[in-house]
Amino acid sequence: MDQRVHVPIDGPNADTEWNDILRKHGVIPEKPPSPTPIIQEALEEARKQAYENRLEDKNLDELNELEDEEDEAFLEKYHNQRMTELSEIATTSVFNQVYPLQKPNYSKDVTEASDKAFVLVHLTSSLGTNIESRLLTELWREMARKFGDIKFCEIRADMCIEGYPERNTPTILIYRDGDIKKQVVTLRELNGQYTTVRDVQNLMVGIGALKPKDHRVVSSAQTDREDPYRSIRSGNINAAKADDDDDWD
């Protein structure tokens, strides 16, 4: 009766002379390649990409400050790129305000207009005590001034849709190419009564209304400034009204 011979082996991936002999005779499979070179190559490529794209998020002022630190041709490339972006934005910035809507003209002012640009509609509350709706009205004004290539509109929810629940206000409707691309009911999805311009910008980036590297998008450093809507967030209606009155003086 034949007896099975047990061939002693070290750990199959060990670098030993005995394992080399076994691999040579096909007793154990070839040792898989070490992942270390692949990982190192990937890290090196990531570092290279990060270095090559180091100026992607810089605006014109920041680029000008780097004149003594960067290669002139490389810096000029990004400078020209920013100038082209600014020119395109200037050409398409035709709105620059919040447009009040009337129900009879809704199709023309919103649905048809969305064939040419993103249109964002704020269905407002009919109650002056709705903090989120009042906050979004102020954010809408700021966003409209900053992003003139996007149309910002407002209409009272119950005047737009008969019987629309007050508890669902504010509601944001985002239109493009004649269709609603996204609907946000109240600001809970964003940050509630603590929603900021940055939160709305992130929403717009997410649906493609803004490019992530658009120089107008607020950087994290810029969000550290004093909150201009603190009176609204605290529910202090009289203080908020006073702030509004000051803006018109």
Across residues 64-83, what is the average pLDDT?
A: 58
Query: What radius of gyration, in Å, describes the C-alpha atoms of the chain?
Result: 29
pLDDT band, residue 221 (cuts 50/70/90): very low
Q: Quickly state the pLDDT bin for 174 (edges 50, 70, 90).
A: very high
- pLDDT score at 21: 76
Highest mean pLDDT among 45-49, 84-88, 206-210: 206-210
Full-model pTM: 0.60
Average pLDDT of the chain to the nearest whole number: 76
pLDDT of 169 reads 95
Q: Is 142 helix (H, G, I), strand (E, B) or coil?
A: helix
Of residues 1 and 107, the one with the higher pLDDT is 107
78 and 66 in contact (C-beta within 8 Å)? no
210 close to 218: Cβ distance less than 8 angstroms: no
User: Measuring CA to CA, which residue among 105, 97, 106, 167 is closest to residue 132?
Assistant: 167
Q: Supply the pLDDT for residue 244.
A: 44
Return all residues near 19 (Cβ < 8 A) that are at least 6 apart.
9, 10, 12, 28, 31
Q: Is the pLDDT of residue 7 over 50?
A: yes
Residues in the chain: 249
CA gap 87, 92 in Å, rounded: 9
